[in-house]
Amino acid sequence: MRFFLDTVDTDEIAALVETGLIEGVTTNPTLIAQSRRSQRDVIRDICSLLEGPVSAEVIATDYEEIVKEAHVLADLASNVVVKIPVTFDGLKACKTLHKEAIPVNATLCFSPLQALLAARAGAAYISPFMGRIDDCGQEGRKLIEEIRDLYNYDHDWDTEILAASVRHPKHVLEAAHAGAHIVTVAPSVFRSLYVHPLTDIGLEKFLQDWRASQEN
């Protein structure tokens, strides 16, 4: 399973890309609005920091405007992936953009049937929202498992499962077990993945023993 960052913080992206473990970035209108910068400037800056896919979401909701906005976003950089909600007009736009070789991240997915339609429409990625599913008393992990089962039936589909709305390390582990190809996480979640108290205790013990040996 590959790791993407869900953020528009370019300082964090630059720092974590250096680990060699970050292969893409996802953004959304909320994150862009919080940055108080234009979407174009933010996306251009992020795309300059890594070669992997950077998802930029459309604001439009009707077919013609989605396609129009998608073209503007795709022209910002060669590694832009246009993020489009799984709606009637969104799926229609996805099919059109697929024919034009513009990759689409089909977002706001909450059911296996939505994922099925997105794959048929040619989406490069499908983004099931694990955390929001859990908030409704259902299981985000189960959704990913069901999508993976559907996709396994037809090997002609190239759509990758991108687990989104990931709130904590447990979600990351569940996404991996469920068969997600990618998980996108906030920088704070990514940093928490390699933290364990026993690692810190063990390291400190080794260092203490080493320092003691050098004093003798």
142 is catalytic: no
CB atoms near residue 35 (< 10 Å): 17
In order, the DSSP letters of 177-189 are HHT-SEEEE-HHH
CA distances from 91 to 28, 94, 126 (A): 18, 5, 11
Name which of 114, 117, 137, 87 is nearest 128 in CA terms: 114
Q: Which residues are within 8 A (CB) of 110 and not within 5 positions of it... i.e. 6 or more apart?
A: 128, 129, 132, 133, 143
How distant is the alpha carbon of residue 56 from its chain centre? 11
CB 174 within 8 A of CB 142: no
Please pick, among 83, 92, 99, 205, the residue that the annotation labels catalytic: 83
Active-site positions read 83
